[in-house]
Amino acid sequence: MSVSTGTARPSIKLDGKRRWVFYAVLYTNFVVWLDTAKFSILTPFWAAELGADAGQIAAISAAYLLGYFPMLFLAGVLADRLGPRLMLLICLSGVTVLGGSMAFVHTADEMYWRNLLFGVFFGFLWAPCQRMLAVWFPPIETAKVTAAWVASQMIVALAAPLIALPIANAFAWQEAFLVISALGVPALFAIALLTRNRPEELPGITAQELAHINVGRDEDARATVPFRDIVRVFRSRSVLFMVVAGALATTPTWLIGTWSTYGLITLEGVDPSTVTYLVPLVSLPVILYAFGHGRAVAGPFRGRLRTPMVLGSVLSAIGFLAAGLLGLPWLAWIFAIGTLGYMVDPLFWGSLNTYWLGVAKPELTGTLNGVAAGLQVACGYVLVSLSGNWLNPSKSGLDQLDSMWIIGGVIFVVSIIPVLLSKDVRIHSEPEPAPLPPLAAEVQPPTAIVEGPHGRVLPEPTA
């Protein structure tokens, strides 16, 4: 299926009220993922103080995934039924409080239960964010804003070690948790004041901006989604295949967060000060690409969405298999898993939200993203829980982790299959329309969805 959202321009100006919604969602995403990433970054510190062995590290790290994945399913449906704003406020409130609660954790058991509860609140982030973006932005803008949203998550890999490791080295690892958790307070105010569940509910939004956002969407489509519509969307074969792809495609990346700094600092003996600057460096190519993913979809990928998804899995598989099979020196090892291993994130998740617009209504993206992400985290929980058993103490240094990278690489390869079995969705580029008078250019009447030679064609809003 080739789906057109009109002219796929590589650069789209975001203005009006939706610009501030965009900034609020990006900052919220960044803060919550930063709160999560610091836990993985500081694994060598809390594991040493609590006396946790490899099995306990795996169990504690997986605990938040156990709390996380059921809430992803629920939060996606609730975001479609009740709106994403309340879900994000719940997420920020819980994550901020539980981040600060780390000051009171003194045993491995306490860390396990704290992490489990943290995951419950963390589950209210993913699908509500994507629902907010899908409702507030027309299809032609979703590739760009979703890619930037993924990039705000990827920037965490750059920021977390620069913030958390120096604080942990100079003071204590608990204080790093307290400092980062405080950043959630401004995010609470941003979501409460700058966003609403539907654009027309926000005071001060203009009729022109509403026309731009809602072109091609009738009032029934923008209303609360009936539960029967949520159930009906899963009758689509492409939806089911892509949900399975979502469950597998980025699952092995959970291993990077759990074991990368542990491998470098604890197993290989790399100085923590070196790791402080090295981890952000290897993340930089992924972050830079993530910000340009919208342009890449419109340009080199020619509007096709399955192609970057497959490419992401291929690159990450290469990185993991190289780390597991080639006995790389530690510097090449961290580039293999920290750069190539993470490329699947912007390439797959940066494309998925736009893909859903080609096979379902925008109002169902919360549910679809919630189910796909929920299955991914469920698989991640199993993978991380088992990973402690794959560490081979008979080997030395980073070679002790070889088995988990090989297993992760195989999962990346398998994830390509359901992507290829799903229907193709394409953002189809069309010639630029002739310039219109200023007033007419601002407000375009809704255009009916028609069937063309390339399949379902979505109307193009005027930028």
Neighbours of 321 (CB within 10 A): 19
Q: What is the pLDDT of residues 406-444, one digit of tens each?
A: 999 999 999 999 999 988 887 654 444 444 444 444 444
Q: How far is CA 411 from CA 187, 337, 348, in A?
A: 35, 14, 14
Instruction: Compute the Cα dihedral for 227, 228, 231, 237 and give only its sign.
Output: negative
pLDDT band at 219 (very low <50, low <70, confident <90, very high): low
Highest mean pLDDT among 16-25, 150-159, 399-408: 399-408
Q: How far is CA 460 from CA 51, 280, 335, in A?
A: 58, 38, 40
The tokens for 48 are 């040493």
- Answer whether residue 2 shows pLDDT above 70: no
217: left (phi over 0), alpha (psi -120 to 50) or beta: beta
State which fold the 17-201+226-457 domain adopts: Growth Hormone; Chain: A; (1.20.1250)
Among 349, 300, 306, which residue's Cα sits nearest to residue 125?
349
The tokens for 130 are 């994507």
pLDDT band at 314 (very low <50, low <70, confident <90, very high): very high
What's the whole-number average pLDDT of the chain?
A: 82
Q: What is the rounded distance in angstroms from the CA atom of residue 80 to the CA atom of residue 87?
A: 10
If you search the block for the tokens 């002739």, which residue do you land on?
A: 434
The tokens for 228 are 């029967």
3 state DSSP class of 454:
coil
Q: What is the rounded distance in angstroms from the CA atom of residue 161 to the CA atom of residue 87?
A: 28
If you search the block for the tokens 């006995």, which residue do you land on?
A: 327
Cα 147 versus chain centre, distance: 9
Label the pairing between strands 450-452 and 455-457. Answer: antiparallel
- pTM (predicted TM-score): 0.70
Q: Which amino acid is at 342?
A: Y
CA dihedral 342, 30, 14, 128 (to 10 degrees): 90
For the ranges 17-31, 205-219, 320-334, which has the lowest average pLDDT?
205-219
Q: What is the pLDDT of residues 279-306, one digit of tens each?
A: 888 988 988 888 788 788 878 888 888 9
pLDDT value for 432: 43
Residue 104 buriedness (CB in 10 A; 0-12 / 13-18 / 19+): exposed
Q: How far is CA 292 from CA 241, 274, 403, in A?
A: 27, 29, 33
pLDDT value for 176: 87
Partners of residue 284 on adjacent β-strands? none
Partners of residue 451 on adjacent β-strands? 456
The alpha-helical segments, DSSP class H, found in 51-138 are 54-82, 84-100, 108-122, 126-136
Dihedrals phi, psi of 451, to nearest 5 degrees = -100, 120
Q: What is the pLDDT of residues 222-277, one digit of tens each?
A: 455 667 777 777 888 888 999 999 999 989 998 998 898 889 988 999 988 888 88
Angle between helices 54-82 and 84-100 (to 10 degrees): 150
Highest mean pLDDT among 71-80, 105-114, 153-162, 367-376: 105-114
pLDDT value for 226: 67
DSSP3 helix / strand / coil % (the chain, rounded to 5) = 75, 0, 25
For the ranges 352-366, 367-381, 411-425, which has the lowest average pLDDT?
352-366
3 state DSSP class of 4:
strand
pLDDT value for 429: 47
Cα 92 versus chain centre, distance: 16
pLDDT band at 113 (very low <50, low <70, confident <90, very high): very high
